[in-house]
């Protein structure tokens, strides 16, 4: 079937699409990366509003975006038919499932939305009447894998921007805190020890090593950013730099993001907050080991990553390291410093232009 005949058969007139739902339940980083769809959908379906369906904890990832009209939420263990009923009430014309696990496939199938888009994964194709690739995206970044969902719709890719917006109230809170506690006239280097897997987390002793070599060379202050499960590591880092670091107070995701936005550069594990930083336009140095930075690294031309490529077990995708966490413990200081300097130099050049 030719491309022209395919779209004639599909009978999808862009002007007939008034309400679009994007399903991306979790995690925070995945939801942020899925926002690459928004600019392209808005440009093609000019009369449509765009909603999201997420789990409650992930709602802040999209709730303040100007082109997101509403965020529906569902509990992880909520009965799929109840979620589908919630979708039916909204009378969507187009549903894009960018998660495509067995649960979201079932919800999509039960939703009765006229046009239902998803990846052609085995065992889940039944749920969708518009199918994207069956590939898992191994040869490109996971942000761009979302764009595969636009191809069968005939939606041109005019933008590869990922988005995140912080509320003005939280920005004000973050600035007030930093004006009170942060030294002036120093480069603010954000340290993000968060990581959803233990194997992704740079060891706290290694954070101290890296902060030490950066501090010896540059006039910096470290803004220590932490969330649930990170407090102990953050306090350990601060103990070693009592006059050169500021630890933020306990926050929610929105306030954490407001603090992220105040940084000049961020060093981070592979995590949701790392992707938030990129979406906010902050240059990021990502530290990688068990996950592949080509698919999950900071999605930004101003950012970069480091990884110890020569380990036999690198990119193992294991939640817990079965060895001695060599990918983090043996990652050379100078390799990290070199990438930090490359990113920093690029920022300085850009700011002079």
- Contact present, 209 and 333 (Cβ < 8 Å): yes
Residue 248 is encoded by which pair of tokens? 């933020």
- In CATH terms, the fold of domain 3-153 is Rossmann fold (3.40.50)
Q: How confident is the model at residue 264 (pLDDT cuts 50, 70, 90)?
A: very high
Q: How confident is the model at residue 349 (pLDDT cuts 50, 70, 90)?
A: low
Residue boundaries of the structural domains of the chain = 3-153, 169-352
Mean pLDDT of 310-329: 94
Classified as helix, coil or strand, 140 is: coil
Whole-structure pTM value: 0.93
What's the pLDDT score for residue 352? 55
pLDDT above 70 (res 4)? no
Kindly write down the DSSP assignment for every residue of 48-80, as one continuous string.
-EEEEEE-GGGGGGTTT-TT--EEEE--TTS-H
The DSSP bridge partners found for residue 268 are 192, 286
Architecture of domain 169-352 in this structure: 3-Layer(aba) Sandwich (3.40)
Q: How confident is the model at residue 348 (pLDDT cuts 50, 70, 90)?
A: confident
Mean pLDDT of 30-59: 97
| pLDDT one-digit tens code per residue, 168-194 | 999 999 999 999 999 888 999 999 998
Q: What percent of the chain has pLDDT over 70?
A: 95
What's the pLDDT score for residue 346? 81
Number of H helices, E strands in the chain: 14, 12
Which run of H or of E encompasses 222? strand 220-224
Measured from the Cβ of residue 130, the count of other Cβ atoms closer than 10 Å reads 18
| pLDDT one-digit tens code per residue, 70-127 | 999 999 999 999 999 999 999 999 999 999 999 999 999 999 999 999 999 999 999 9
pLDDT above 60 (res 353)? no
Q: What phi and psi, each to the nearest 5 degrees, are found at residue 25? A: -65, -40
What's the pLDDT score for residue 310? 95
pLDDT above 60 (res 213)? yes
Please compute, for residue 66, the number of CA atoms within 13 A of its CA located in the half-sphere on the CB side.
2
């Amino acid at each position: 079937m030719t491309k022209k005949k395919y779209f004639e058969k599909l009978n999808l007139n862009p002007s007939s699409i008034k309400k679009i739902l994007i399903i991306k339940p979790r995690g925070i980083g995945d939801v942020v990366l899925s926002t690459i769809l928004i600019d392209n959908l808005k440009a093609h379906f000019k009369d449509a509003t765009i909603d999201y369906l997420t789990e409650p904890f992930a709602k802040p990832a999209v709730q303040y975006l100007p082109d997101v009209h509403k965020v529906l939420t569902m509990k992880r263990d909520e009965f799929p038919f109840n979620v589908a009923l919630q979708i039916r009430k909204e009378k969507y014309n187009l549903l894009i499932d960018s998660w495509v696990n067995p649960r979201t496939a079932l919800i999509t199938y039960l939703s009765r939305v006229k046009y239902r888009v998803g990846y052609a994964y085995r065992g889940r194709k039944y749920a969708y009447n518009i199918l994207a690739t069956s590939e898992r995206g191994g040869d490109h970044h996971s942000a761009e894998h979302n764009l595969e969902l636009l191809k069968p719709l005939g939606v041109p890719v005019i933008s590869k921007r990922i988005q995140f917006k912080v509320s003005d109230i939280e920005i004000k809170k973050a600035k007030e805190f930093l004006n009170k506690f942060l030294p002036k006239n120093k480069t603010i280097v954000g340290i993000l020890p968060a990581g959803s897997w233990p194997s992704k987390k740079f060891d706290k002793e290694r954070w101290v090593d890296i902060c030490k070599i950066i501090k010896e060379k540059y006039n910096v202050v470290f803004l220590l950013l932490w969330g649930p499960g990170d407090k102990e590591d953050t306090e350990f880092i601060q103990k070693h730099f009592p006059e050169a670091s500021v630890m933020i107070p306990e926050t929610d995701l929105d306030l954490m993001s407001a603090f992220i936005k105040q940084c000049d550069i961020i060093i981070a594990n592979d995590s949701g907050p790392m992707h938030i930083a990129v979406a906010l336009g902050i240059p990021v140095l990502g530290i990688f080991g068990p996950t592949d930075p080509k698919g999950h690294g900071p999605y930004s031309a101003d950012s970069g990553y480091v990884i110890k490529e020569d380990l036999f077990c690198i990119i193992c995708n294991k939640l817990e390291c079965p060895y001695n966490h060599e990918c983090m413990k043996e990652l050379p200081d100078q390799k990290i410093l070199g990438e930090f300097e490359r990113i920093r130099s690029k920022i300085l050049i850009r700011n002079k232009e």
